[in-house]
Structure 1
């Protein structure tokens, strides 16, 4: 079970958040706190996994609580923090992200919104606990990198960058054989990366027809 400390200066709101958490499988509420100072004390005593943190508190602001937690004010424990607040200024959001908040939920919201954020957190928590030496695809998945921006299995970012540079620096378009000759890759490898860039829309493809046989696919860099 993932233990959660609910921090909100409004007792009724804190109680509502407690109910939402308790209705979400895999979570339990460690306690509630209604000031920044009591939140820091509760973290040190209870060592929760996650803090549901409002930013508007009567003594310490929520961002200051977040900063102190990251500086070790929680008695050596450093829980994850999910910000739940009415503050919607861009700089406040940026400060929360820079401070290490795992997510930022703006009040008011419907209960399913918070439950989904909790489920997302629980999924990442479980995945990280099960990993010994995660690869890039594993890390991308945990951080929510869109699938379209991940490298397909068997391709590397370094080689993709090499083929990209080869296309950008070419005088005109290139066939797979020409790209291989310039980059030092095998023809098969060059073709796979050229087709990858074409599939992402970053490389254009044209066909050159010869006297016999299939037309030759030629590639040029088209942007980005």
Structure 2
């Protein structure tokens, strides 16, 4: 009996994964409004009712894809001893994201969707931005205090500059992935930003 139950649970998890895989492709290319539950169900090889059993609404499925995207491409977390250490972690996270192009395209779509009133992504993206600012401004302020960054810099504009580099290059990649080397251009841009902020070259990562 236990084996039967476990098998049923496993099949349910596999169906859920198929739905998420189909959903990220559809949402990435069609956006929230342009995607239909029926199309996702067809791509996943199941009926509409079978999909709704796992995700009762399109909004819940959309938010589940956002959550899964953050599992696959985890945001930069943890504490850092320097701004340089954080920037290296951010570069590494961008390179990891490039290994999951469907989720990367989905995230590029989210940036535009977040500007649309009442889009399910809006509150999520605003919360992520506020959290990033809350976490990073003290790190950059400490960098100024320690002498890592130039004394005439302001922490908030520097943080927003770094975040904007990521958002902008990711959006350009979403428009023309064959033209934009997202990871390589981002790494070069971060090195240039650090040089402007600190007056020195971004030191190599350790470990």
TM-score (norm 1): 0.25
More helix by share: 2
Q: Which has the larger radius of gyration?
A: 1
Which structure has more relative contact order (CA 8 Å, sep 6+)? It is 2
Q: TM-score, normalised to structure 2's length?
A: 0.27
Higher strand share: 1
